[in-house]
Amino acid sequence: QVQLVESGGGLVQAGTSLRLSCAASEEMYSPYTMGWFRQAPGKEREFVSAISRDGRTVYYSRSVKGRFAISSADTKNTVVYLQMSTLKSEDTAVYYCGATLSERADARRETSYDYWGQGTQVTVSS
C-alpha cells in the first residue's frame, strides 16, 4: 500500500527554523512531483512548495518564498524535505506532503496530487 509519512513538526519560537521530511513507501514509483501544503485552523488547505523529480523545477507560494527551501534526497523523489526558516506565527498549521505521478499536473493545485500523508503539526509561538 502506497503511503506518505511526514515528520519533523513541533513547537518552535518565531524566528527559528524547522525541517520537515516526507518519505514515500517502497510501493510508490518515483513520483513526478512532490509537494507540501498546509492547513491552518479554520482555513482551507493551501499550497506551500513543490519539487519535480529531476529537482530542476521548484515552486513556492508567495508567503514562504525566501524563507522555505524544498529539496529531494535523491533522483527518485521519494524523500523530500522542507527547510523552514525565519518562522512566523502565521506559519502555524498542519503540513501535508503530497505526491503526483502525472507529468502534466499543476503542482500548485491540491487536486493534482494522487497521494497524501497524514500531516505533521507545526506550531510557531510568538
Q: Please write the tens of the pLDDT for every residue from 96-117.
A: 999 999 988 899 999 999 999 9
43: cell is 482555513
Q: Please write the tens of the pLDDT for every residue from 61-72.
A: 999 999 999 999
Under 8 Å between Cβ of 14 and 72: no
Percent of the chain scoring above 90 in pLDDT? 79
Q: What is the pLDDT of residue 6?
A: 97
